[in-house]
Structure formats: C-alpha cells, structure tokens
Structure 1
Amino acid sequence: MTPVALKALTRGVFRYEQSDRRVLVLRAYFDDSGTHAESPVVVMAGLMAHEDSWSEIEADWAAALAEFGLPDMHMSHCENAQKAFSGWSRDRRDLAVVRFRSIILKHSALMVVATLARTVWDEALAIRPEMITVFDNPLDYCFNSCIGKVARTRRTDAKQMEPLVVTFDSREQSLDNWRGLAAGYKHNFPEKIAGFAFGSMKDVLPLQAADMVAYEAFVYECERQRLGHETTNPRSNFVALFGGLQHEGGYYTPDQLVKLTDQILHELGER
C-alpha cells in the first residue's frame, strides 16, 4: 500500500506558495453509511483537523496497520471478521479497534456527524414539500448539515479564515453521490469551501478514521430507531469516541430538517 501524500489531494485546489507558510489549511474527511435502500438510517460522518495534525495521524495509522499486518482498517470488516480480519478472534479485533481509536483520540480532531432516519425524512417532506427542491435525498441533507458545520468552525484565532478542503471516499457506489453533492454545494456556497477531493480509503489513510466514526454513528442510530429511545448500553467504541472528542451534529428531527430547508432557501433567495 502506498498512501497518497496529503498535499497531492489539494494540488490545484489550494496553492502552496512561499507566502502561504502561515496559512493553516483545514482538512475534513468524510464517509457515509446506510445509503443502501433497505437501511432505516443514513449517516455521514467524519473528522476535521489542520493538515499538520493529519500528517501525524497518517504516520501513526500507517504504523498501526504494519503492527497488525493489515492492508487497511475497515470497521465493518473488523466487526464481522471479514476479508483481512477473517479468522481473527474477537479479542484480537477488539485490540485493533482500541489501537486505531487511540490514534484518533490522541490528535483531538473535531468529529462531525449527521444521522437521519428515513422515517424522519418522510415526515419532514410531508411538512415542507419544498424540501425536495433543496435536498435530493437523506444523504444530501446529511452532506449539507456536515459541510455547513465544518465551514462555520474556526480552529484558530487567525483573522483569515483557514482554507478548508473536504475529502470523500471514492469507492464506486458513493462517488457519483459525492460528486453531485459537492458540485451543488460549490455552486450555491462558493465562498465556504476551498475545494473538494476524492480518494481511495485504502490509499488515503484518514478516510479509514472517518469510516470508524461513520460506522459507530450508524450502529448507534440504528439501535436508537429500533428501541424508540436512546440505548442505555452503547458500544464501548462509540462511548470512547464521543466522550473523548469535541463533536458537532447528531441525529435530526423533522423540525430541524424543515428549519435548515427554510434557512437555505432564504440564503439562496438573497443571492
């Protein structure tokens, strides 16, 4: 495995000139979960930090992969003892999860999560039919919610807002979705994001960290939907991540969907 250098993903998106030495570039990595039609929940989740922090995370992640002899860290494969984790005991898989989670916690990235039940989407659409002119589908809503949160977040006291580049996993089943959503967001709000990039989760190691967050958010929200209330026994990995990191977002109600719809319609109407 040859990881892609971070700056390679933003070449052509943000210029790294001599005068840029003091400009801190923010990078956010996002993954989705539950986008198949049968899923009751759709999730978009990820992590944001300065580029220097991501370089350190990337180095630590590569070392952990080598330590466990893994080509990549994929949470659903780990949980289900599939592919690279085939034949692994539960204890060994748990050790891997703890090891990779410790890297995320060590570098204190901002965690951003949007989870949306399809029943909530349907209810909101019934309240505000115009919502479909703003969001194509539940993933589109989660996308706009997450990007809006990272775009409004400042990580330093610098007078100049840090350029923000957002990277998505380029796997085939999601790539068309991401490209369409990114193009729409850049068209509507060109001043908020420096650019979007796409990469393979196998090669762009921070996407594997985003995958862990998305997986845990998906499992938690599925359980919440099943029970009809918050679970009193969440997964230990979920508790450690959400307890150890600053985080934005969560699950959404029909009223929140309607509110964001009205806000975006207002912003677009002022242009």
Structure 2
Amino acid sequence: MLEAYFDDSGTHNGSRVVVWGGLVGHAQSFAHLDAEWQRLLACPDPQLKPLKAFHLYSCVHRTGEFEGYTQGASDLVRSRFRTAIIESGVAAVACGVDIREWDHQVTGHLRELVGGAERCAFGLCVKLSVEMAGSENEQLNAHFDRAREGYVLNVIEGARLLYPDANHLFGTSFCPVNAYTGLQAADTVAYESYAFLRDMLSSEKSDPGPHLRHLIASAESTTIMLMGRDEIANLVEKMQSAVGEYRQ
C-alpha cells in the first residue's frame, strides 16, 4: 500500500492560482520522514527554539513560531525541512490552476459540471497520485487536513460515482495538520509550488528559485503542473466535444 498526504495553497480570496500538492510513498519512507521531521522540530538549529509544527508560509514570512527569525535563519530552517523530504525518498506532486483563466473560460453548463479551479487542481493532483499507485498495483491511502474534510469528501464521492472501478484503489482519512508530519510536509510542497506558479503568472518568470529548484533536482520524483490559458482551452474544447456527443 502507498501512503499519500495532501494539502492546498492559494485558496484565499484574491489568489491568482490555486494549488493542491502532496507526497506519495511507502509507509517506511514516511516513517523515515516522520523521524527526521520530529528531530528537526525538537531542534531546528542549536540557536533556535523548538517548534510545535512546521508551516512553510509562517517560516517564509517569519510569523507565529518563526517571529524573530532572521532571513538567514528562515532560509536555513526551510532548507533543512525540505532536505528531510528529499532524503525520505517520497515523491512530490503538485497541480495548480490559473483561477482567472478558469473563471473566464469555464462557464455556464460546463462550470456546473466540473466546478471551480480548486476542484480541477484537486482532481489532477489526486489523479496523478492514483496513477502512481496503479503503476505499482497498490492501493493509495490518502490523508488530508481535517479542516478540509467536507470539501474533500464532496469531491471524492462525485469521482467515485464516475469511476466506480477505481474505488478499491483509494482510501481516505482526515487528520489535524499539527499532529501529522506528513501533512506538514505536504503543506511545504503545496506552498513552494504555489509561490512559484503565482510568480510565474504575475511576472512570467519561469525560474522556480533556489528552494523549489532544490526539491525538483534532488527528490525521488517531482511533478509540478499548471493548467494555464492554453491547457484550460484544450480541456474546455474536449469537454464541449464530449458533452455534444452525449447529447446526440
């Protein structure tokens, strides 16, 4: 059985892009990650206080438990937790959707069928993860933030009605982020990907920056995809064609 942990980023009002991201791997890989993560929480650095949990947004912006960090300390701790992900051997996956383009192109009946940009990002992220499990003929046991339970269950139940043959491949559980290091690591992947895709859409910068570049170059497997203008247009064309054939 493969384990997976997922989290979201960019779901706040006014966001340009929404991302779902996470990690997929065997239980022993996550056990390795948990042990190292707990060690880093207890001592992120000899000069720094222990942490209750690692949240990348707070680390980057030096808020909450990270208040008082210098920029150097923030970058150092960020790097150490990211290295824990890389050395555990789990695979990272993230899918983002350009909200502005989605809202512009996916309207009317199609919008009623497929929902908003977040639903697309979530569906693509889970689909890629299930495909990883399918390639190894294993079930995927997926863990989510308890705060998103209602949303996740609603989307998954709809998918199970459409793909009943895949039901046996996918199990779910909902956990508090602060108590599960796998979810904190998923938050790291989601936010790193969100920050890159946000900047890429706003300034057309294609360089992921040193932090995400390190993850992409060093992790066992990293997949980051964006549904932008062209990708959404292609999807809309396919959906319109499928709806037209169904009505005939």
* TM-score, normalization by structure 1: 0.79
Matched, 1:152 2:127: no
Q: What do the CA deviations read for 1:173-193 (whole angstroms, capped 9, x no partner)?
A: x33322222222233224333
Percent same amino acid at aligned positions? 25
> Which amino acid in the other structure matches residue 218 of structure 1?
Y
| Gap runs ≥5 in structure 1 | 1-24
Partner SS, residue 53 of structure 2: coil
134 and 230 in structure 1: CA distance in 2 versus 1, 3 angstrom threshold: farther
1:239 aligns with 2:213: yes
* Letter aligned with residue 226 of structure 2: Y
The code of the aligned residue for 1:217 comes to S
1:248 aligns to 2:229 (yes or no): no
Determine if contact 1:182/1:196 at 8 Å carries over to the other structure: no
Aligned-partner SS, 1:35: coil
- Indicate which of 158, 162, 175 corresponds to 1:188: 162
- In structure 2, what residue type is equivalent to 1:241? L
1:102 aligned residue: 83
What do the CA deviations read for 1:212-251 (whole angstroms, capped 9, x no partner)?
1111111111111111x2344x331111112222222411
1:79-228 equivalences under 5 Å are: 79-125=60-106, 129-154=108-133, 161-171=137-147, 174-192=148-166, 193-227=169-203
Identify the range of structure 1 (84-93 vs 25-34) with the bigger mean alpha-carbon deviation: 84-93
SS in 1 for 2:6: strand
Higher helix share: 2
Identify if the C-alpha distance between structure 1 residues 249 and 124 changes in structure 2 by more than 3 Å, giving closer, same or farther. Answer: farther
SS in 2 for 1:230: coil
> 1:78 Cα shift?
0.6
What is the TM-score when the length of structure 2 is the normalising length? 0.85
Counterpart of 2:157, as a letter, is A
Cα distance in 1 between the residues matched to 2:12 and 2:224: 22
Partner of 2:47: none
